[in-house]
Structure 1
Amino acid sequence: MSDRLPRRLVQLYLGLTLYGVSMALQLRATLGLDPWDVFHQGISERTPLSFGTVTVIVGAAVLLLWIPLRQRPGLGTVSNVMVIGPVVDATLWLVPAPGALAVRIPLLAFSIVLCGAATGLYISARFGPGPRDGLMTGLHRRAGRSIRLVRTGIEVAVLATGLVLGGSAGVGTVLYALTIGPLSQFFLRLFAIPAPAGEGSGVVVRGGTEGRIKDLI
């Protein structure tokens, strides 16, 4: 597996970087965010913290919930917490908010496709799930409920909380929910790195979930 390590590391950090960019671009489109980002935005609106800083803090807090669930973090888990937030803030600083709807609609579509590609890159690297993904699969294992049910429950809860706090949902939220699964599946296959014989092929989907691909999408 050592001969594949450089490629895996490149995919991990390129994927996490592009994921942060995609989050910032969807935020700039102002047409609705995915449930977790509605939550992040809601907290950011109520505090002096930047969106990226909130993303890091929430990721670290969710990671603490892994302890009672007996989840084990990996390099990808820690990198997810540390990389995505700063990239979001840097992208927001570099990319001005577009005013015209004719620009915002394509920007929304591009951000969601980019998120799917980023997901495929970093998950295929197989360095461990992101904090939110591990929370979902940990609850799935402990509660004995399906991944879909646990994912839906968590995302409805964070979406509702985010809306109460002032986060924004809209057509982008619906479009993300309908397309991120198929997009992630496509890019997971496109960027897949063959695992050595005897090693499991479990993968993780943020936006999404974690486990084997057939369990997720």
Structure 2
Amino acid sequence: MIRRLAQLYAGLLLYGVSTALMVRPDLGLDPWGVFHQGAARHSGLSFGTVVIITGAAVLLLWIPLRERPGIGTISNVVAIGLAADAALALIGSPAGLAARYAMLIAGIVLNGAATGAYIGAHLGPGPRDGLMMGLVRRSGLSVRLIRTAIELSALGAGWLLGGTIGIGTLLYAVSIGWLVQLFLPVFDPRRREPARTAARPT
């Protein structure tokens, strides 16, 4: 449990840092990042504060879906926003297009690793992931359809609020699934076990 908690909080901390690395180049954010940025610009609140408020609001939607949060769920709501604000205070905007792209790509890769770490801890899904799975169970629709609908809704709302959509949005969309799939076995021993079993001599 100590290892899993350490992995959970390391993953959430790095997720917040990865968010800052994607914000600073100003080349486009992931769908929820676009929403958080747009809401922050209109509300006057910090980016991280909007992340926390949004996570708490999404968590309330779990109630009618009868989803149960874990310690990882509650930690996700608070820790990522705090980490994002701290990282944004320390990380400045890069100078030059090459440096901006380098920071963006580093942020996306780190985001994939951080996601693999906190999911692999098995201490509760994030608010948005739990909402997705609750809607899938209630509606009978596919994960792909529900996830796409949620992401497009966040992206559209964020764009209307003035969030940044750009090449970073596209790069995130085409790479994040592959990156999470790559990093999950690194942080989740359960996903490595089938490979070990298959490798044992009979």
- The answer for the alignment partner of 1:145 in structure 2 is 141
Q: How does 1:11-26 map to 2 (within 5 A)?
A: 11-26=7-22
Q: Does 1:193 align with 2:192?
A: no
Q: How does 1:6-155 map to 2 (within 5 A)?
A: 6-155=2-151
Q: 1:117 Cα deviation (Å)?
A: 0.6
Where structure 1 has 5 or more consecutive residues not aligned to the other structure, the ranges are 196-217
CA distance in 2, matches of 1:70, 1:45: 33
Partner secondary structure for residue 11 of structure 2: helix
CA distance in 1, matches of 2:188, 2:33: 27
Cα deviations by residue, 1:154-193 (Å, 9 ceiling, x for unpaired) = 1111101100000011100000010000100110011113
Q: 1:48 Cα deviation (Å)?
A: 1.2
CA distance in 2, matches of 1:168, 1:150: 23
Partner secondary structure for residue 95 of structure 2: coil
What is the TM-score with the length of structure 1 in the denominator?
0.86
Q: Decide which of 168, 172, 187 is 2:168's aligned counterpart.
A: 172
Judging by fraction of residues, say which structure has more helix.
2
Read off the aligned partner of 1:48 and give its amino acid letter.
G
What is the TM-score with the length of structure 2 in the denominator?
0.93
Partner secondary structure for residue 190 of structure 2: coil
Q: 1:97 Cα deviation (Å)?
A: 1.1
8 A contact 1:32–1:169 mirrored in 2: yes
Q: 1:29 Cα deviation (Å)?
A: 1.4
CA distance in 2, matches of 1:191, 1:72: 23
Cα deviations by residue, 1:98-151 (Å, 9 ceiling, x for unpaired) = 131110001011100000110111110000100011111111111110000000
CA distance in 2, matches of 1:194, 1:44: 39
CA distance in 2, matches of 1:194, 1:186: 14
CA distance in 2, matches of 1:42, 1:23: 14
Q: Decide which of 178, 185, 189 is 1:182's aligned counterpart.
A: 178
Read off the aligned partner of 1:194 and give its amino acid letter.
R
Read off the aligned partner of 1:13 and give its amino acid letter.
Y
- The answer for the alignment partner of 2:196 in structure 1 is none
Partner secondary structure for residue 75 of structure 2: helix
User: Pairwise CA RMSD of aligned residues?
Assistant: 0.9
CA distance in 1, matches of 2:122, 2:190: 10
Read off the aligned partner of 2:83 and give its amino acid letter.
V
